[in-house]
Structure 1
Amino acid sequence: MADEINEIREEQEQLAPFDPSKKKKKKKVVIQEPVEDLAESSQTEKSDSLPVNDGLESSFTGMKKKKKKPTESSLLNNESVDAGEDLDEIANDEQEGEEGIVLQQRYPWEGSERDYIYDELLGRVFNILRENNPELAGDRRRTVMRPPQVLREGTKKTVFVNFMDLCKTMHRQPDHVMQYLLAELGTSGSLDGQQRLVVKGRFAPKNFEGILRRYITDYVICLGCKSPDTILSKENRLFFLRCEKCGSQRSVAPIKTGFVARVSRRKT
């Protein structure tokens, strides 16, 4: 009976005239969430309020993190890069060290305001001379002369076979050398048809060798640089020895002849 009464009232209300002043009442809809959904929503709110690291640590407190092992390729690449850098640094250091050593050996006074030392200046002068004159930097050229070849001709004459060859080696005129030899031996002689020096008397090779040594000392070797490249010239009755290397010039003593007895046959 109550249901019928309610239905009748609703029909009457629908059939009643429309009143714009009245507002229609809205029915409130209430939705009940399950308990599990409420727990999940509370956990999400808490996780949003916490930082990322704290949330991860709190959620995985019972587990330990595993460290990743570096691969062999990455290790090899790193070692090769480090080795290349080390080699480049070592090469640069060696180059800088060599340059510094060269500069220090050549100019020891660089980088300081000290006074020059006499030995350093003298060494620098000689270095400049060697750079400008490379021929002076080498060893001194030694002149090697052949020993005199002496033969006997008969019982009273001696033949100097390689006389002309020795004159060419010393770059001296044969007449001047022959004049000196005859003056030192105290005898007389002449050149034969084969350009050999024939001397009167008996003489050993040692006699000619000693005389030639004295001739080289007096008329060939330069006293300044000890060079055999010299020129002997005669000016105003004097002989001058001029060196082609150092340019020095000096006068030499004339050849002195000893007493020679003149032997002539008596007229009968």
Structure 2
Amino acid sequence: MSFNYDDLLNRACQQMPEVQAKKERLELPRIMIQTIGMRTIIANFKDIADALDRDPQHVIKFLTREMATAATFHDSRAIFQGKFRADSFERLLQRYLEGYVVCPVCKRPDTKLVKEKRLTFLTCNACGAKSSIKQL
């Protein structure tokens, strides 16, 4: 059997998945915090979750577990029980970004969370990698 190199190369290229990459870089909006009594309110929480391309409930669940406090999500803002500083939220959002948004293979933020039975996987739209993530 004799194969032409160009034909084989074209066939291989046709079988490759299309790369879907966001053109802009992932930038989180500045966190707008208000402290009222013993509550901390993030006014632009929905914008932050949209920038991460994640469900706000998933992000708030991560933050409440890491901060060991209660929180609610209402009208695009998150209300946390207790007084917290903006830098602690920024640090935790960076950890969330590394663990649940950025692909561990190609380091791009073009991912989505896929739940299969009891396990959750981080599937990359750019490189096609599928890696398991820690359950919340």
TM-score by length of 2: 0.80
For residues 64 and 35 of structure 2, what CA distance do their matches in structure 1 show? 17
For residues 93 and 127 of structure 2, what CA distance do their matches in structure 1 show? 24
Q: Partner of 2:95: helix, strand, or coil?
A: helix
Give the partner amino acid of 2:116: E
Residue 45 of structure 2: which of 163, 166, 176 is its match? 163
Deviations 1:162-194 (A, max 9, x none): 1100111111111111100000111001123x3
Alignment of 1:1-268 (within 5 A): 141-153=24-36, 155-192=37-74, 194-255=75-136
Unaligned runs of 5+ in 2: 1-12
Q: Which runs of 4+ in 1 moved over 6 A?
A: none
Deviations 1:63-114 (A, max 9, x none): xxxxxxxxxxxxxxxxxxxxxxxxxxxxxxxxxxxxxxxxxxxxxxxxxxxx
Judge conservation of contact 2:38–2:81 (CA < 8 Å) in 1: yes
TM-score by length of 1: 0.42
For residues 191 and 142 of structure 1, what CA distance do their matches in structure 2 show? 27
For residues 183 and 252 of structure 1, what CA distance do their matches in structure 2 show? 16
Report the Cα offset of residue 231 of structure 1.
0.8
Judge conservation of contact 2:119–2:132 (CA < 8 Å) in 1: yes
Q: Partner of 1:215: helix, strand, or coil?
A: helix
**How many positions carry a matched residue from both structures?**
120
The alignment's C-alpha RMSD in Å is 2.3
Report the Cα offset of residue 141 of structure 1.
4.7
Unaligned runs of 5+ in 1: 1-128, 256-268
Report the Cα offset of residue 219 of structure 1.
0.4
The structure, 1 or 2, with the larger RCO (C-alpha pairs under 8 Å, 6+ apart) is: 2
Percent identical pairs in the alignment equals 33
Deviations 1:215-258 (A, max 9, x none): 01000000111111101011111110000011000000112xxx
Deviations 1:31-74 (A, max 9, x none): xxxxxxxxxxxxxxxxxxxxxxxxxxxxxxxxxxxxxxxxxxxx
Larger Rg computed on CA atoms: 1
